[in-house]
Structure 1
Amino acid sequence: MDDKEVLGRINGLVDEEHKLRQQLSQGTLTAEEEHARLKELEEALDQCWDLLRRRRAARETGSDPDAEQAHSTSEVENYLQ
């Protein structure tokens, strides 16, 4: 994935987050359903932002950004632990 594709994925996930909140306010989605899907979206967003940061860092240091791959969700979510 190049930077443009990663940013496109981020925008798609944010759009989905907005739709979920709208569905909740319209009553077409339960709070539990919204919460479960939001957790998945947040993890996917963290994964995308991590990849984008690592691609940018690789570019700044003269490395190949295309060599960077997305880390697993569990790895990204546990960076600070």
Structure 2
Amino acid sequence: MEKNEIIVNSEMEGMRLDRYLRKSFKNEPLSRIFGAIRSGDVKINGKKSKENYRLLLNDKVIIKNLSIGNIKKMRKQKIK
């Protein structure tokens, strides 16, 4: 399981969580990003959050299971 940890800086401050993730994980489908948020794979300061959450300076964003590798594995399983 891949885990990314990001600290919000002044450039990201005020941006919606879903928009930030879409910008950072361009190869992930939007449905996968929203699914990760709803399932709790994306946490802000250790807590589950909504997609419309506005990032605050120094928020700690923990992102699990969002990577190019996971999508490739899922596609291979569907083909079989």
TM-score range, shorter chain: under 0.3
Return the structure number with greater relative CO, CA threshold 8 A, min gap 6. 2
Q: Structure 2 length normalisation: TM-score?
A: 0.26
- Between Structure 1 and Structure 2, which shows a larger proportion of helix residues? 1
| Higher Rg | 1
